[in-house]
Amino acid sequence: MVRCFIAILVPERVKDEMVSLQKKIANLPLKCKFVERENLHISLSFLGELEEVKIKDVNEKLRTICQKIPKFKIITDNVKMIPNEHFIRVLAVDIHKNEILEKLQSEIKKQIGGATSPPHLTLCRVKKIMDRTSVINQLKGYLIKENIFDVEFIYLMKSVLKRTGPIYSVIEKFNLHDLS
């Protein structure tokens, strides 16, 4: 069994911005577990534990889906508190709504399944907040540089859980098609 998810990998310059933001968050009155730089991504669907046979099926379905989806741009937004500011479990960077991204995620959910949530880039998992009001006010005050980047590939990823944190690796890379 292999723990899998479908993702968009982010460019190094976006990772630089996210790490910079994580450093700001580290100064807030909270305890959290940051996503490692190499693991920063946008999840489209968490598939859980899959047998090898099922992975082959997912590969074929993803290949077919990606042949129908054009390359597109992603624009990052502000910090998002998940599920909400009254009960913060995750801090993430939100992603601007995008018709192509929504169609891609919808097709993945319909044809492959898995757990989906609105696209976002997870920064950390929150363990404890010592001063909720201060954390919320400071997070709302952060002005995030809008990052725009091209999405040309979708990835089927493997996640191996270790004591030090998950280790991600690419199982398969899928090309999105050109509009021309």
Catalytically active residues are 41, 120
Is 28 in a helix, a strand, or coil? coil
Spatial CA neighbour of 101 closest among 146, 61, 66: 66
Contacts within 8 Å (CB) and 24+ apart, 102-107:
103/69, 104/44, 104/65, 104/69, 104/154, 105/44, 105/45, 107/65, 107/68, 107/69
| DSSP H or E segment with residue 170 | strand 165-175
